[in-house]
Amino acid sequence: MVEIEKIQSFAISNDPKDASGCGIFGIFNTKGDLIDGNKIVSAIDIMRDRGNGLGSGYAAYGIYPEFKNYYALHLMIDDDLAKRAVEDFLERRVMVAERSGIPTRGMKNRKRPMFFVYFVLPRAQGTKAESEYMSETDADEFINKLVFFINENINGAFVISSGKNMGVFKGIGYPDEIANFFRIERYKAYCWTAHNRFPTNTPGWWGGAHPFGLLDWTVVHNGEISSYGANKRYLEMHGYKCTQKTDTEAIVYLADLIVRKHKIPIELLAKIFSAPLWEEIERMPQDQKKLYKALRIIYGRALLNGPFSILLTFKGGIMALNDRIKLRPLVVGKKDGVYYFSSEEAAIKHICSDIKDISSPDAGEPVIARLTDEAYNVYYGVQDEED
């Protein structure tokens, strides 16, 4: 794993920050029209006082159209030795269609790793023929395990994101600093999310900043998940390893387990994460009562306790969700097929001044936006039934 960089000098400030004050922002165009990176930077940067300079990042979907059928592995690498180890491992395990450095600018007085992107496909087991590849279901599981292996076993290397036609860009700094470093203005995406601050209860280091990603999932999160211990133990029973020691990482893995592996719809995932209280379930109609009781019994250890608002992104969609008593802010706006998600209404109006449809979702009630079928086909090909 990449060496954790404890930057204590940035934690010492004459302007103390509220520990509960993360900033999150998201933009999603349901028609698939591309959104300039400058817009998401402008929106998250207006909430600068919610951060502390110890972490920020962006997730972007639709940025690699020329390699849309390949897994885009974004890697953070400490040195040439770790790079050689990663590339030797990948050459043995996958077909690498393209590799390159992720374009960056310099950062003054800041130690930083190197960043690379590898576009890969897993070969069918037992063959090296370039024309024989795994099914998407098998390939997702293969990449899942590959990511965990690299993060746990290759010293000095860390996979930031691993989905198709998407990528995560994150590190230590304020939103404008990270955007400048990764040249976010050069990217256009149909979906953007952004975060300001660093993960709860963990040191500020480049890999620990939000968003957290696995396959096509990413999450940005404001708040604290007090159920992390129970969530972590539940995930470990199913083969996941929480190497980052942060509550946010567990949200990504729970989504992958429950939706991708267990085939539970994203709408019900929200009711697992932010489950109704037992007294509320007892007042439901019989069919609903039976369903929600079953969810609480089967997925009780996937319940997210504590104050939170999250933006969970996936292939072709995004879900915004509060905790079940709404202890963290979340505002949603909509105009002309574009959804805006924010910790503060001011950030939405900053980039869309004439927006009228703005609301604050009820506690535990998800807001989900998806690409139209036509737009989905452009970015990912024909939509499978399970998607």
Residue 191 pairs in a beta bridge with 28, 61
Respond yes or no: is residue 191 known to be catalytic: no
In whole angstroms, what is the distance from residue 125 CA to residue 245 CA?
Answer: 33
Do residues 154 and 79 lie in contact, with contact meaning Cβ atoms separated by under 8 Å? no
Determine the Cα–Cα distance for residues 157 and 292; give it in Å rounded to an integer. 41
Residues 275, 269: Cα–Cα separation, whole Å: 9
26: closest CA among 210, 208, 244, 215?
Answer: 210
**From 22, 191, 242, 352, the catalytic residue:** 22
Name the residue among 56, 90, 314, 280 with its Cα closest to residue 182.
56
Beta bridge partners of 341: 26, 332
Query: What is the spatial order of strands in the sheet that 367-370 belongs to?
Result: 212-214, 217-223, 308-314, 317-322, 367-370
Q: Is the peptide bond before 122 cis (omega within 30 degrees of 0)?
A: no
Closest to 184 in 3D by CA, of 59, 12, 24, 77: 59
- Which residues contact residue 213 at a Cβ distance below 8 angstroms, ignoring those fewer than 6 apart? 59, 160, 161, 162, 163, 168, 219, 252
Which positions are annotated as active-site residues? Answer: 22
